[in-house]
Chains A and B, each alone.
Chain A
Amino acid sequence: MSVLVFVDHTQGSFKKKAFETVNYAAETAKRIGGGDVTAVVLGTVSNEEINQLGQYGATKVLHLNDARFDNFSARAYAKAIAAGVQQAGAKVVIVSYNVSGKAVAGILAAQLKAGLVSGAVDYPQTDNGFVVKKTVFSGKAFAHVKITSDVKIIALVPNTFAPKKGEGAAAAEALNVSLSDADFGITKVAEDVVKGEIPLSEAELVVSGGRGLKGPENWGILEDLGKAFGATLACSRPVADAHWRPHHEHVGQTGGTIRPNLYVAVGISGAIQHLAGVNSSKTIVVINKDPEAPFFKAADYGVVGDAFEVLPKLTEAVNKFKAAHN
């Protein structure tokens, strides 16, 4: 059975998550009996960049080199991908569970009358139908969802598998679809990107601060630790609500949901709504002066102590470690 994967890019370059979805598509194809792994790429991307997809398991690339796709318009994207599904005869469609993947997956589900598992955290099981495991209840449980339609869509949670680079090469092919300008109904008028930082949804290492840090003027010591680790910063909701930190850093049930390898929580009590956004992190370190803070129950490692004393020491230790291991 042929598998198709939508590969998202940022201004012409692929991120780790893109390679992860291609890898996942290749492994899925293998598990369902082999077949083509077709990657769909929309918009301006160099051939050099596209050639990498073969190394992660794509056997074919359908590239629509049309600058109208350089801005994300969910409807146009979904229509183009649906055309790719037809062209490739694909039965399984893979996207990333990120802002563009989720939007595209939902529209595709309608267009292809396809069952969708959004938020998948494992490969499909095929011994009893086609069953995919996904997170539910904001990371507090998993559901195993059987897809019964002919075409199936999976949105994979980023950072679930580490992408592995191999040897393969993919054959490029043009994607045949004609879209009217009306399909591109969204006009971008401004963009405000935080430069130079790895976005939270992709970060492998995250350092996060809560109300225990007392005020925005104290964030320097957290930033220092973040720099030492090479981590992205996050915060609890009251911190964003008080405008100590920008909104996009807020994680939890009403903020972002993240799944880094390491989450360091400093001066955060560990309320259930906060945990909802972070408890899929692989390793959690909690620094809190209160030994009874609920967060310690969800932690792998902990330091009971005053953040203002612990952070500089931890930063120093990380820097020392980095110096010794480079």
Chain B
Amino acid sequence: MKILVCIAQAPDTTAKIAFTDNNTKFNEQGVTYIINPYDEWYALVRALELKETGVASEVHLVTVGNAGAEAVMRKALALGGDQAFRINTESHDTFVVASEIAAFAKDKGYDLVLAGKESIDYNNASVGATIAGVLDHNFIGFATSLDVAGTTATVKREIEGGEETDTATLPLVISCQKGMAEARIPNMRGIMAARTKPLNVVEPTAVAALTEIVAYDLPPAKTGVKLFTVDQMDELVEALHSQAKVI
């Protein structure tokens, strides 16, 4: 069984969020990029576990991004995985990213395509589903566990207010979240091995974007906290009622 893991890079969670060029571009100055946490801790680590237990034969990693994304791909390779592919274009349009990944995956016989549930920068939570749509594969979103036996996957997924267990026949696209695996730290051997693993560059099929970000803005700053003492709980409740109007 072959697994393809979709890896997005994302600004480190403590990065300062600011914009330039008249609020049309994200200010990358001083920002360090990490592997999108859902892709790393859940999709990638679970794929590696499936390989380690002999369920999967190969794990490939794919990203859609420019050369700047290679550092993050090396980090991902240091955790494990056999080969990485970078599709050489940058876009924040779901349709472009998913179409490029689907075009790459189409004839390569991946039984499972794993994505994170959401990128922590653009928060679309949709690339996985759109890949499934382009490939006309089944899709299970927001999975919290994944096992495979033969050609059948057993997947737990989040539903409103709980969880549901599903089975589905491969090939399958899954978006992964918390619960799927435990975070790992790459070891020295992995880091050394990653240096010589292939990081292939694939030219894009040049799908046209269907969306375009025209501007960014920041939420209005909070005006400051209003403090109450332990003996002013009635006043606090009254404020929640008459000022905030939430109760």
Question: Do they bind each other?
Answer: yes
- Give me the interface of A with B, judged by CB distance under 8 Å: 10, 72-75, 78, 97-99, 102-111, 113-119, 128-129, 131, 134-149, 155, 185-194, 197-202, 204-205, 229, 247-248, 250, 253-255, 257, 261-262, 272-273, 276, 279, 282-283, 285-286, 296-305, 309-310, 313-314, 316-318, 320-321, 325
B98 at the interface (CB under 8 A from A): yes
A134: which B residues are within 8 A, CB to CB? Answer: 123
B140 touches A110 (CB 8 A): no
Given known contacts A107-B132, A115-B211, A254 and B126 CB-to-CB distance under 8 angstroms: no
A72: which B residues are within 8 A, CB to CB? Answer: 159
B126 touches A109 (CB 8 A): yes
Encoded as 1 (CB less than 8 Å from any A CB) or 0, chain B from 226 to 247 comes to: 1111110110111111001011
Contact of A282 among B166, B214, B246 (CB under 8 A): B246
B166 touches A118 (CB 8 A): no
A201: which B residues are within 8 A, CB to CB? Answer: 160
Given known contacts A142-B219, A148-B210, A187-B166, A109 and B247 CB-to-CB distance under 8 angstroms: no
Distance A114 CA – B14 CA, assembled complex (angstroms): 33
A300 touches B126 (CB 8 A): no
B165 touches A189 (CB 8 A): yes
Top 7 closest A-B pairs, CB basis? A106-B129, A110-B133, A115-B210, A199-B161, A193-B162, A106-B126, A107-B133
CB contacts under 8 Å to A, within B179-222, are 179, 209-219, 222
A190 touches B94 (CB 8 A): no
A142 touches B162 (CB 8 A): no
B240 touches A301 (CB 8 A): yes
B244: which A residues are within 8 A, CB to CB? Answer: 262, 282-283, 300-301
Distance A99 CA – B158 CA, assembled complex (angstroms): 7
B167 at the interface (CB under 8 A from A): yes
11 contacts between A and B (CB under 8 A): A72-B159, A99-B159, A106-B126, A141-B216, A141-B217, A141-B218, A185-B138, A187-B166, A194-B161, A301-B225, A301-B240
B129 touches A131 (CB 8 A): no
Distance A105 CA – B225 CA, assembled complex (angstroms): 38
- Give me the interface of B with A, judged by CB distance under 8 Å: 11, 13-14, 17, 19, 37-38, 41, 93-95, 98-99, 102, 120-134, 136-142, 144, 154, 157-169, 172, 175, 177-179, 209-219, 222, 225-231, 233-234, 236-241, 244, 246-247
A192 touches B160 (CB 8 A): no
A187 touches B167 (CB 8 A): yes
B132: which A residues are within 8 A, CB to CB? Answer: 74-75, 106-107, 110
B215 touches A143 (CB 8 A): yes
* Nearest-neighbor residue (CB-CB) of B117 within chain A: A102
B178: which A residues are within 8 A, CB to CB? Answer: 247, 250, 254-255
Minimum Cβ distance to chain A for residue B5 (Å): 17
B241: which A residues are within 8 A, CB to CB? Answer: 321, 325
Distance A90 CA – B124 CA, assembled complex (angstroms): 22
Given known contacts A109-B133, A185-B169, A248 and B234 CB-to-CB distance under 8 angstroms: no
B102: which A residues are within 8 A, CB to CB? Answer: 110
Distance A102 CA – B37 CA, assembled complex (angstroms): 19
A197: which B residues are within 8 A, CB to CB? Answer: 161
Given known contacts A74-B139, A187-B166, A317-B236, A303 and B229 CB-to-CB distance under 8 angstroms: yes
Minimum Cβ distance to chain B for residue A144 (Å): 5
Distance A103 CA – B129 CA, assembled complex (angstroms): 6
A285 touches B240 (CB 8 A): yes
Minimum Cβ distance to chain A for residue B207 (Å): 10
| Contacts A144-B217, A202-B160 known; 15 new A-B pairs at CB < 8 A | A97-B125, A102-B126, A107-B133, A110-B99, A116-B124, A118-B126, A119-B123, A144-B215, A186-B138, A186-B167, A189-B167, A272-B13, A286-B225, A301-B225, A313-B231
Distance A187 CA – B215 CA, assembled complex (angstroms): 42
Distance A111 CA – B123 CA, assembled complex (angstroms): 21
A318: which B residues are within 8 A, CB to CB? Answer: 237, 247
Contact of B239 among A205, A272, A299, A301 (CB under 8 A): A301
B166: which A residues are within 8 A, CB to CB? Answer: 186-189
B125: which A residues are within 8 A, CB to CB? Answer: 97, 102, 106, 118-119
A97: which B residues are within 8 A, CB to CB? Answer: 125
Distance A8 CA – B214 CA, assembled complex (angstroms): 31
* Nearest-neighbor residue (CB-CB) of B230 within chain A: A305
Distance A114 CA – B130 CA, assembled complex (angstroms): 11
A301: which B residues are within 8 A, CB to CB? Answer: 225-228, 236, 239-240, 244
A10 touches B160 (CB 8 A): yes
* Nearest-neighbor residue (CB-CB) of A314 within chain B: B233
Minimum Cβ distance to chain A for residue B231 (Å): 8
A304: which B residues are within 8 A, CB to CB? Answer: 227, 229
* Nearest-neighbor residue (CB-CB) of B231 within chain A: A313
A114: which B residues are within 8 A, CB to CB? Answer: 95, 210
B133 touches A146 (CB 8 A): no
Distance A137 CA – B17 CA, assembled complex (angstroms): 8
A191 touches B94 (CB 8 A): no
Given known contacts A142-B216, A191-B165, A314-B233, A136 and B122 CB-to-CB distance under 8 angstroms: yes
